[in-house]
Amino acid sequence: MKHLIILLVSLSAGPMSSGAPAAPGSKPGLILKNETLWLGFDPARLALVSLKDPRTGHEFLESLPDSPILWALNMEGPDGKPLRVQSNMASKLEFKRSAKEGTVTLIWKGFEIAGEANAMEVKVVVRLPRDSDRSYWSIEVDNRSKSSLMEVQFPYIDGISKAAQPSAAIPRHNWGMMERNITATSGSYPSHFWPMQFLAILEKESGLYLAYEDPRATPKSFSLEPGKLFTFTNVAENASLPGNDYASPGPVAIGICGTDWWKAAKMFRKWAIRQEWTKRGPLTRASSVPENAKNIGIWFCEGVGSEPADTCLPRLRAGSDYFGLPAAIQFYGWHRAAFDTEYPDYFPAQPHFLPVVDGLAASGWMVTPYINGRLQDVAIPTGKEAASWMAKKKDGTPYAEEYGSGAKFAVMCPATKYWQNVMQDVSRRLLGEYHVNSIYFDQIGAADVALCYDPSHGHPLGGGGHWVEGYRKMLGGVKEMRTRKGEAPLITTENTTDCYMDVVDGFLTWTPRHPDEIPLLTAVYSGYSIYFGSNAQVDTDDGLASYAMFVGRDILWGTQPGWMPVDTTSERGAYLRDVARLRYAGSKFFQFGELVGELKPHSDPGVVKGRWNNILRVENIPYDVSLPAVMSSIWKSAEGTLGVAIANLSGEERSFSYTLTPNDYGLFLPKGGEWKLTKIEADGKQAQGTFPDQTLERVEKLNPWEMRLIEIELRK
């Protein structure tokens, strides 16, 4: 092929040759490398044939096929039938490499698509800057055909790992999941099923950071099948229109994170805190977040129902007095119609609602009524008016959904001014007529994008950033409204999708917990957003262990606790009060600090066993779960001190011995200096002495169910 400029074939006998062999006939003669990552491409195929950690020598492409590909396009022909175009179908290949810039450019030409010759050109650029901890990948598709580009699978990493071999740290639901011995896994963004655009594949020798650093938060998914492939799939803009082109909405980032998922989370944080959704900065200076909301100590969740204000208010105030903390409450059943019916026709409210709101708000509570930010009941009068602005499938029909109430719902397109106005009008009435200071918008942070193909809405068909941008415009308009006290309202939503953080102040972590969760969420966004809810889904007669496992771990990971009915009489209520008060006393860490790690005990603390409901999404079915009997987290405050939180989740006394090097977290002990240790308690502090060493060796003796917080700082 006269188009190929074979400059680096001789390098294939260098370091890239070790590890798993390349596919038959493939040679990694085109190489990008720095101290953290090696990438090898076969110049005869323009395929990735080596992806390697240079420090350990681990090769991630352990199962390369005979003919690996680098990308694939899912298309729709002029006749409406599906087509698939892959990188190994091109008749002409070109590439160029700039060693100085650490860049490889790969070009594919000569495609025949649905009988059309020279119908497409594809260009991929891969950059690996000299001092970077990640490489950057982008793709452009010049579609000259009469077919439509629907989805872009890129990069398509053939032959990754081996079946059932790796684990993966994946943002999921509330905190994140450690999925082990994977044969296949996937996720879609933005949604509760993949709320941040990254994951880490972890092998015994090394780990791979994979992120789609897309500032527009366009709809996408990932698919991992060890032994076969990994790929991101991005939905094309103007999908279904002939001849639509494509350019990456942001680079795919691939790097080495080692065997520790914490490194991957911090790699993503480095990018994430520079995006549009974190532009208002950390909570220590985010002026659009109400100060009362930042300092919530306990959440309650109840229905308004038929209980009159003169009995409801004393009961709720007694709960607040019992906890001794600033309180918030989420109200269901406040509106005219039954739950999950007649959305968005909420008014008038139940007669008890306004006096209850006024009574609680006067006591400093954040009062948060439920509304659904996404659905329209199609059977009510406003359903006909809303029909034009519902999200539409390719065939022009709206997306239909039904929940337990039996009402028929359509998903509304948030990019339309109509739906933005409807939700803002509802919010304006709640803030004005009913005096609330907070609103919960259900489903926005949880549900998948309903790809909309209605051209009358004025947005690109299918993919693009309009879905997220539409919700941000909607909620941004609500943030500009003011409460009776002249403050911005607290806005909350269901689950934890990150791209709404500039207009959503609090994210409800409500979905069923799982013992394999890890705190990916707060490892990335701690200090920048509020996460609330530790609604323990455990049977009432199951003792304290199941409850403490659930609530204690949540607090270690950074939640504003509660989101349950008021409980001032049980041992569970007492436990929640104690740990919530400690968390509030340590809010410089748990609310305003950064989650930076966890302790590794010198010896196994043992396990504690309990039963949690719904972890397999089966209602009210308890499952046996186990966690370490003692768990921990390490936080760094905005002032630069460390907070070591340790929770005994068992009903027995436990000892927990550990080693901590503050230098690992950016605290440096000068010559002649000493560390000062202080035990933070709910009602004060206790000095714990000083230590002159770079590394601390310490044993904590914990009472049954005790949570402890130790602050470490330089002695002045």
Is the pLDDT reported for residue 651 higher than 50? yes
340 burial type by CB count under 10 A (0-12 exposed, 13-18 middle, 19+ buried): middle
Residue 572 Cα to chain centre, angstroms = 29
Question: Per-residue confidence at 192, pLDDT binned at 50, 70, 90?
Answer: very high
Domain 9-272, CATH number (from 2.70.98.30, 1.10.4080.10, 1.10.287.1770, 3.60.40.10): 2.70.98.30
Percent residues over pLDDT 90 in the chain? 92
| pLDDT value at residue 8 | 35
Interval 117-144 mean pLDDT: 97
Query: 379-412 pLDDT, tens per residue?
Result: 999 999 999 999 999 999 999 999 999 999 999 9
Whether the CB-CB separation of 636 and 593 falls below 8 Å is answered with yes
Omega before residue 692 within 30° of 0, cis = no
CA distance 685 to 580: 16
Interval 437-447 mean pLDDT: 98
Is the pLDDT reported for residue 7 higher than 90? no
| pLDDT value at residue 26 | 66
| pLDDT value at residue 16 | 32
Question: What are the structure tokens assigned to 221, written together?
Answer: 């998914």
Is the pLDDT reported for residue 37 higher than 60? yes
Interval 218-223 mean pLDDT: 98
| pLDDT value at residue 306 | 79
Whether the CB-CB separation of 710 and 678 falls below 8 Å is answered with yes
Is the pLDDT reported for residue 421 higher than 50? yes
Q: Which residues in 203-285 belong to E strands, given as ranges?
A: 207-212, 220-225, 229-235, 246-247, 252-256
Is the pLDDT reported for residue 615 higher than 70? yes
Predicted TM-score (pTM) of this structure: 0.95
Residues 6+ apart with CB under 8 A from 72: 84, 85, 86, 87, 153, 154, 156, 231
Is the pLDDT reported for residue 356 higher than 70? yes
Higher pLDDT, 9 or 471: 471
Interval 458-478 mean pLDDT: 98
Task: Give residue for tokens 């006096």.
Answer: 355
| pLDDT value at residue 25 | 55
CA distance 627 to 520: 17
Question: What are the structure tokens assigned to 681, written together?
Answer: 């308690």
| pLDDT value at residue 543 | 85
Q: What is the average pLDDT score of the chain?
A: 94
Question: Per-residue confidence at 618, pLDDT binned at 50, 70, 90?
Answer: confident
Query: 195-210 pLDDT, tens per residue?
Result: 999 999 999 999 999 9
Question: Per-residue confidence at 24, pLDDT binned at 50, 70, 90?
Answer: low
Query: 584-595 pLDDT, tens per residue?
Result: 999 999 999 999
Please tell me if the domain spanning 299-494 has the same topology as the one spanning 533-716.
Answer: no
Interval 205-226 mean pLDDT: 98
Lowest mean pLDDT among 3-12, 357-366, 462-471, 633-642: 3-12
Whether the CB-CB separation of 267 and 134 falls below 8 Å is answered with yes
Whether the CB-CB separation of 123 and 139 falls below 8 Å is answered with yes
Which CATH class, in words, describes the domain spanning 533-716?
A: mainly beta
Length of the chain: 716
Higher pLDDT, 542 or 89: 89
Nearest Cα neighbor of 683 from 592, 591, 559, 581 is: 581
Percent residues over pLDDT 70 in the chain? 96
- The strand pair at 707-714 and 675-681 is best described as antiparallel
Question: Per-residue confidence at 22, pLDDT binned at 50, 70, 90?
Answer: low
CA distance 419 to 398: 15
Is the pLDDT reported for residue 547 higher than 80? yes
Whether the CB-CB separation of 513 and 615 falls below 8 Å is answered with yes
Interval 684-709 mean pLDDT: 95
| pLDDT value at residue 167 | 98
Question: Per-residue confidence at 21, pLDDT binned at 50, 70, 90?
Answer: very low
Q: Which residues pair with 48 in a beta bridge?
A: 41
Task: State the DSSP string of 410-429.
Answer: EEB-TTSHHHHHHHHHHHHH
Question: What are the structure tokens assigned to 302, written together?
Answer: 């109840």
Question: Per-residue confidence at 4, pLDDT binned at 50, 70, 90?
Answer: very low
Return the domain boundaries, the chain: 9-272, 299-494, 533-716
Q: Does domain 299-494 bear CATH number 3.20.20.70?
A: yes
Task: Give residue for tokens 């996937």.
Answer: 186
Interval 60-76 mean pLDDT: 97
| pLDDT value at residue 540 | 80
Question: What are the structure tokens assigned to 440, written together?
Answer: 């919960």
CA distance 588 to 672: 28
Q: Which amino acid is at 305?
A: G
CA angle 479, 480, 481 (to 5 degrees): 90
Query: 664-680 pLDDT, tens per residue?
Result: 999 999 998 999 999 99
